[in-house]
Each structure stands twice: as C-alpha cells, then as structure tokens.
Structure 1
Amino acid sequence: MTRTPETPLPSPKECRRLREAQSLSHADVAAALGVTRATVRSWENGRTTPRGTNRDAYVRLLTGAQKVTPHQEHPAPALVGAATGPVQASPDRAEPAPEPPSETPPVSELAPEPDPELGPDPAPGPEPELGSELSPEAEPEPLSPSLTPDQAFDALYAFCAPALVRQTYLLTGRRELARESVECAFQLAWYRWPEVAMDRDPAGWVRATAHEFALSPWHRLRPRHRNPEPPPAAPADRALLDVLLQLPPVYRRTLLLYDGVGLDLPETAAETEASTPAAANRLLHAREAVATRLPELAEPKELHRRLAEVASAERLHAAKPTTVRWGGEQRARHWTRAAIAFTVVLIGATTLTLRTAPDHYEPPLAPGATVHGVPPRVAPGPLSAEQLALRAKLKGETVSGPERLVPEAG
C-alpha cells in the first residue's frame, strides 16, 4: 500500500516571512486553521510541524491559495494567554482538541500596568502576556544584527520579567522569592547569553530556569522561608492561591503552564520533563483538585481568568535590566574569584604535602617482646671476710711479690 507524500513545507523562518508578507498575525492564522496561537508560534519556531489537513491548509494559507482577511483590531491579550479546552487523558490522544477563538471580550483590568522601574518599552507593541513573555504579535529577534548583546538582553527582560514574576508568584505564593527567582534566572541567562541567544525560545529558557529555581526544595532551609508572607487581600484570591499551594509542585507547574501560560500539551510536557500522557494526567488531577475545592472554577476558561486576576492583583514589579545585568556580572566575578582562591589553596596544600612527605620507605619498628631465661644482672655488694683477707694479702705482697706484680727496671 502506497502512502501519499506530505505537502512540502517551507522552513520556519520562511513561514514567518510569508505570513508577515500577507499582513497576517498569529491570531489570524490560528483562527483560520482552528488551532491556538501557541501552536502557530511553535511551527514558526521549528519546535513542531503541522501534520495532515492542518499542514495542507497551512501551506495554502502561506502561499496565498487560501485568502484570509486580517483583523483590523486585535483585542488586548489577557495576562495568562489563551484559554484551552479540556484535556483527554488517553495516551493515544493526549493533546487537547483545538478550540476556536473565544468570543468573550478580554478583561481589560487584567492587562499589566507599565513598570516604572523598567522605564519605556524598547519597542512599541502590545502589552506582554503572563502566558507569552514576548508579545505574540511582535516577537523581537534575539540575534538581530542591529542590537548589541546588552540591548537584546534588555529587550528580552522588558518583555518577559513582569509576566514571569507573576507566574512565579502563583507557583510559590511568595513575592520576594518570585522576584529573586526571576532575577537569578536572568542573571544566569546573561552569564550564558551566547547559548540563550541561539536558543529557539529564549523566553522559554528563562521561564524554565525561573520555575525550577522557585520550586527548589532547598528554600525550606532558609530562615526567611519559615516566616509566612501575608496572603492576598481578596478572599477569593486567597482561596485560589491556597488551593494551588496545596497541589504537588509538578501538578501546580503543569496547571500553570497549560491553563495559565497557554502552552499546548506537548510543550508543557517538554518543559516539565515528562511524557505527554503523564502531563495530561497531572493536568486532569490538578483540575479535579481545584474543582473540588472551588466548583466555580471547573471550567478551564474561568480558571484561566481567575489565574490572571490573582497574578495581576499583587502588582509585582521587577528590577531594572541594568541592575540585573550588573548583579549577574558581580555574581560571576565572585564565583570566579572564589574558584581561583580555592585553586590556590589546593595548590598550596599539595605543595606542602610534597615537601613534608617522606621520600623513602621506612619500615616500622617491631613491637617489643619479653625474653625469658636470662639471669638478671647482679649489682656489686659488700665483700665477705675471705675476700677482705685476700685483698689485704695481695696489697701486702705487692713489693716483694713476683715480677709480674711489680716490674723491675733492667
């Protein structure tokens, strides 16, 4: 049986160029194909490729065979990304079915306010989402030749940091830990900037690093972690955050990435280092736990909206990108000096050991043993009467004694 060959697909970079040439946004392509904007972005990033009828329709749309009228006005993106449909727990089809774009107007109060510490945005564009750190309508090129490394890092930080702090707060329930996790993630990104700049998804790289740092179990040993932080002011926000913090960390992270950030199931599974069926089961159990405590959040769209409200109600602010870069450089210098000092100490200890260590083999002394049968030495004692008489006789016969006692001159 022969198999029909798949429709040739241009390269991811060419797909993006063709889409922009027709003045189409990710939302336009997603609405035309019946998929999510995150799926279209993953096609253009090269992480996934369309298959089957989606592949044919995608190629026709890019080549102009299928005409799509671009929207004149795009609604402002919500904080947590697009809501998705229910997840199938079956291993054969673990990816959720695509859902057409919601007709519900976006909640304007969920849009993030500009951070006064970050200053003006590096480029005009829509507000960053909590779910997609870089705006889906205008993604900056990390390796643009017109940007220096400092400018590219600052642009990535300005788009990602405010939303990423809110995401990390939902994971930990701690404001200071959320800010610290994001700063440490970006400091590590600046330290390894050549690798991060060449990554297909720099925002995803930083997001995964921040989430892993925030969920590290070693924070329990810190004295500051033992003191609880004040909960949110609204009772509904407190209830939702309490339910989230009672979930296991992997379940909480899966729920946030899928229902909050808006990633599809394979991307969520890849970021949590799990298989797609395992990620689907975690998501189903997490939704069930949330719906048990808060029945009004059983619908994924309502859960998505409430996550956005809780995240944006705290008004968390990130530090300036220049401060983060300076802190990363200082941290790198500190660890470099510590490594040099440790190496010098190690070399000195090795040299001292070589100088003081013996250079030849010295057999150990045998332990002492008791010898039996040897008579003890007797100390000289007083002379007896016979010995005294003999001594007197010898002294008296010295002069007239034999020649051997008094030698005579010849």
Structure 2
Amino acid sequence: MTRTPETPLPSPKECRRLREAQSLSQADVAAALGVTRATVRSWENGRTTPRGTNRDAYVRLLTGAQKVTPHQENPAPALVGAATGPVQASPGRAEPAPEPPSETPPASELAPEPDPELGPDPAPGPEPELGSELSPEAEPEPLSPSLTPDQAFDALYAFCAPALVRQTYLLTGRRELARESVECAFQLAWYRWPEVAMDRDPAGWVRATAHEFALSPWHRLRPRHRNPEPPPAAPADRALLDVLLQLPPVYRRTLLLYDGVGLDLPETAAETEASTPAAANRLLHAREAVATRLPELAEPKELHRRLAEVASAERLHAAKPTTVRWGGEQRARHWTRAAIAFTVVLIGATTLTLRTAPDHYEPPLAPGATVHGVPPRVAPGPLSAEQLALRAKLKGETVSGPERLVPEAG
C-alpha cells in the first residue's frame, strides 16, 4: 500500500509572509480552515505543521488558490483568557464525561491570547468572552529575537498581566492578593528569564506560578488576609463568587481553567498536576456544585459568560512592568545578600570550631573505683579517764618539756 505524498509546505516565515501579502490575519486563516487562531500561530512559529486536508487547504489559501474575505474581529472585552486560546468550543475540544475524552488537541495548539485593555467598560454589546479583545492590527506576533530581555519581558507582561489578575481574583476573591500573586509570578519569571523565555508557553508558565502562589495555604497566617474583602456589588456576581470560594481550591482551579480560561482537559490536568480522569471528575463535581446553588449556570456556555462578567466587573489594574522588574531585582538582591551573610556566618562558625577543637586524642578519665581493706576514719569523741590524766600530766610539765629531755650542766 502506497501513501500519497503530502503537499509541499513553505517555511514558517514564508507562510507568514504569504498571509500578510494577502492582507489576512491569523483569525481569517483560522476561520477559513475551521481551526483555532492558536493553531495558525503555532504553524507560523514552526512548533507544529498542518496535516491532511488542513495542510492542502492551508497551502491553497497561502498561494491564492482559495480566496478569503478578511473578517472583523469580535470586539468583546478581554476578561479571563489572556493566557489561553479562544473561548468557544473549537474542533477537538471535548466536554468532560464520566469517561475522559480520548481525542484532544495537542497542547502546542493552545497558545495565549493577549489582553491589551486593563478592563472592559460595562456597556451593552456582544457577550463577553474569555478570549481577549484583539483586532487584526493588534494581533500579537512571536517575540523577535532582536528584542532585548527588558522589551521581551514587558511585552509578555502587557500580554498576560491584566487578564491574569482577573483570573486570580476569581480564584481567591481578594483583589490585593490577586495583584500580589501576579506580580510575584512575573518577578520570579524575570529572575528566571532565560528559562521562561525558552519555554514553549511562557504565558502558561507565569499563569501556573501565579495560581499556585494565590492558592498557597500560608496566606491564612497573614494578618491582613484574615478578614474578607468587600464582595462584588451586584447580587448575582456576589452569589457566583461565593459559590466559587466554597469549592475546594483544586476544584475551583480546574473549573476556572477549563470553563473560564478555555484550556482543554489534558492541559487542565497537566497544569493542576493531576491525571486526565481526575481532572474530568473534579470538573464534573465543580459544575454540579455550581448548578446546585445556581441552576441557571448549569450550561457550560452560560457559566463561561458569567465568569467573564464577574471578572470584568472589578477594576483590577496590574502594576507597570518596569515596577515589577525593579521589584524582582530588589528581591533578588535581598536574597543574594542574605545568602552571602549566611555563608559568611557559616564559614566563621566553622573556622572558630576548627581553631578551638582539640588537635590530638585525649583519652577520657577512668571512672572511680571502690578501694577495699582501708579502715574507716573514726570521728573524734570524748576523752577517756586515762587520756584526761595524760593531758593533765603533759600540761603540768615545764615549758622545756619533760625532765628527761632537758640537758644538764656538766
């Protein structure tokens, strides 16, 4: 049996050039081929390549054999998914069932979406989505190798931080903790920037770090986190946030990643460090708990929309990237100095021990032994009659002593 040779595919840079030559955005190509925008981005980055019918259609589209009319982007506000793909169910994204889905898209096809706005204005319009507000002109492209580390970090921060703060707020219900978690995650990313910059999904790396910091149980020991913060003003938002905070942290995170952020089940399981069946069970139990308290949110699409609205209702602004980088550098200096001081103290203690410790073997003293055969020492007592007479006689003698001892003159 012979296999039909695949259609020759241009290089990733050439694919991007051909797309731009036809004035098409990645969203246009994704809509024409029936795939996600993240998939097209991964093709142009060279992380994955199209196969089968998608490969043929992609080549025809780039060479002009298939015409596509550029479409207008949905101006829905960016709420939760700045570090994820689109919100609507894409081909291959299966809903969890008692048995976990067997076919899921590769993790490389789920790339983050940008969030250029710090927060949406509450105005009537299309339903808010967990993908970001993104026009063809503002569509993020892979970071150029010519960017300096500062510029690359600032681009990643502007791309992820605003929506990541909203995600963390849904996880914790605390505004200050959400901002602090995101800042600490980016400070750690700046400290490990070579590792993060080479990661296949830097936005996912930062998101996982921020979520883990926000859900740390050690925050309960902090005085300012003992009292709850004011809840959202809207009763519906307050009810949904209350239901979310009553879920176990791992269930809450699974629900947010899948129904809020838009990750697929394998990606959700990997980020929560669980197996795919375990993540599916957690998701089902979390959905059941939400539907029990709020029956109108039993539909996943409606739950997704309401999560976006609750996140958008709060004006959560992230700090400037320069401030975050400066804070990360200050923290690194602090810990470096602390490590140096600890090392100096350790060396000093070691030196003092070596100087004062004995340099030769000193045998220990033998334990005491009982000596037998020695009569016990008699305590003094009253004198007998003979002793008293002897003492009186000695006292009565001359000063020079007894007569027998006095020399006589010759």
Summarize the Cα distance change of 1:381–1:406 in structure 2 as closer, same or farther, 3 Å threshold: farther
CA spacing shift, 1:77–1:11, aligned 2, 3 Å: farther
In the TM superposition, what is the alpha-carbon distance from 1:111 to its structure 2 partner? 20
- Deviations along 1:277-336, one digit per CA (max 9) or x if unpaired, are 433333333222222221211222221211111001111111122211111111111000
8 Å contact from structure 2 (residues 38, 111) kept in 1: no
Assess if the C-alpha contact under 8 Å between 1:174 and 1:229 holds in 2: yes
Distance 1:89 1:121 in 2: 25
Structure 2 CA distance for aligned equivalents of residues 159 and 300 of structure 1: 26
Whole-Å Cα distance in 1 between the matches of residues 312 and 4 of structure 2? Answer: 49
Deviation readout 1:175-222 (Å, 9 max, x if unpaired): 110000011011111212222223332222211211111111221222
Residues 244-298 of structure 1: CA distance to partner in whole angstroms, max 9, x if unpaired?
1122222222222222222333333333233444333333332222222212112
**Residues 291, 297 of structure 1: 8 Å contact kept:** yes
Task: Rate the CA distance shift 1:263–1:388 in 2: closer, same or farther, 3 A.
Answer: closer
Give % identity: 99
CA-CA distance at 1:151 after TM superposition: 2.6
- Contact 1:258–1:268 at 8 Å: present in 2 too? yes
Task: Name the CA shift for 1:224/1:135 in 2 (closer, same or farther; >3 Å).
Answer: farther
Q: Is the 1:143–1:198 contact (alpha carbons within 8 Å) kept by the matching residues of 2?
A: no
Q: Greater shift after overlay, 155-164 or 352-361?
A: 155-164
Partner Cα distance (1:205, 1:322) in 2: 20
Q: Does structure 1 retain, via aligned residues, the 8 Å contact 2:186–2:324?
A: yes
Query: CA, structure 1 residues 192+83, in 2 after alignment: closer, same or farther (shift >3 Å)?
Result: closer
Match of 1:325 in 2: 325
Q: Is the 8 A contact 1:244 1:290 kept in 2?
A: yes
Whole-angstrom distance in 1 between the partners of 2:382 and 2:104: 129
TM-fit CA distance, 1:66: 3.5
Deviates more, 1:159-168 or 1:246-255: 246-255
Larger deviation: 173-182 or 86-95? 86-95
- The answer on 1:373 being equivalent to 2:390 is no
Question: Kindly tell me: are residues 82 and 368 of structure 1, through their superposed partners in 2, closer, same or farther at Cα, counting changes over 3 Å?
Answer: closer
Q: Rate the CA distance shift 1:265–1:185 in 2: closer, same or farther, 3 A.
A: same
CA distance in 2, matches of 1:108, 1:192: 22
Greater displacement, 364-373 / 45-54:
45-54
1:251–1:283: 8 Å Cα contact kept in structure 2?
yes
Residues 5 and 290 of structure 1, relative CA distance in 2, 3 Å threshold = farther
Asked whether the 8 Å contact 1:168–1:178 carries over to 2, the reply is yes
TM-score (norm. length: structure 2): 0.75
* 2: CA distance, partners of 1:100 / 1:368: 78
Normalising by structure 1, we get a TM-score of: 0.75
Q: Which moved more, 1:90-99 or 1:310-319?
A: 90-99
**CA RMSD after TM alignment:** 7.5
Change (3 A) 1:390 1:97: closer
State the number of aligned residues: 410
Q: Is the 8 A contact 1:87 1:95 kept in 2?
A: no
Structure 1 position 60, deviation (Å)? 4.1
Partner of 2:81, secondary structure, is coil
Q: Is the contact between residue 128 and residue 135 of structure 1 (CA under 8 Å) also seen in structure 2? A: no
User: Secondary structure of the equivalent of 1:404?
Assistant: helix
Q: CA deviation at 1:90?
A: 18
Task: Give the superposition deviation at 1:347.
Answer: 0.3
Decide whether aligned partners of structure 1 residues 71 and 342 sit closer, same or farther in structure 2, where only a CA change above 3 A counts: same
**1:246 to 1:26, Cα distance in 2 relative to 1, 3 A:** farther
Q: Which of 246-255 and 336-345 deviates more? A: 246-255
- Identify which range, 192-201 or 164-173, moves more after superposition: 192-201
Residue segments in structure 2 that go unaligned for 5+ positions in a row:
none
Contact 1:28 1:71 in 2 (8 A): yes
2:205 matched to 1:205?
A: yes
* Cα distance between partner residues in 1 of 2:281 and 2:38: 21
Correspondence 1:8-407 to 2 at 5 A: 15-45=15-45, 50=50, 52-72=52-72, 74-76=74-76, 78-81=78-81, 131=131, 138=138, 140=140, 143-376=143-376
**Counterparts of 1:249 and 1:256 in 2: how far apart (Å)?**
10
Deviations 1:78-131 (A, max 9, x none): 424599999999999957799999999999999999999989999999999854
Q: Is the 8 A contact 2:182 2:210 kept in 1?
A: yes
Task: State the Cα distance separating 1:142 from its structure 2 match.
Answer: 6.3
SS of the counterpart of 1:388? helix
Alignment check: 8 A CA contact 1:16 1:44 kept:
yes
Structure 1: runs of 5 or more not aligned: none
8 Å Cα contact 2:257-2:268 kept in structure 1: yes
Residues 172 and 214 in structure 1, CA contact (< 8 A), matched pair in contact too: yes
How far does residue 351 in structure 1 lie from its aligned partner after superposition? 0.4
Deviates more, 1:28-37 or 1:230-239: 28-37
Tell me, in whole angstroms, the C-alpha distance in 1 between the residues paired with 2:135 and 2:125: 8
Q: 1:41 to 1:298 in 2, by over 3 A?
A: farther
Q: Is the 8 A contact 2:28 2:71 kept in 1?
A: yes
Kept in 1, the 8 Å contact 2:80–2:308? The answer is yes
Deviates more, 1:81-90 or 1:213-222: 81-90
Cα distance, 1:384 vs structure 2? 12
Contact 1:125–1:138 under 8 Å retained in 2: no
Question: 1:372 deviation in Å?
Answer: 1.5
Deviations 1:337-386 (A, max 9, x none): 00000000000010011111111111111211212123357899999999
The CA deviation at 1:64 is 4.1
Cα separation, partners in 2 of 1:77 and 1:39, compared to 1, 3 Å: farther
CA contact (8 A) 2:85 2:110 kept: no
Distance verdict in 2 for CA 1:114–1:393, change over 3 Å: closer
Deviation at 1:141, TM superposition (A): 5.2
CA distance in 1, matches of 2:77, 2:98: 19
The answer to whether the 8 Å contact 1:30/1:40 transfers is yes
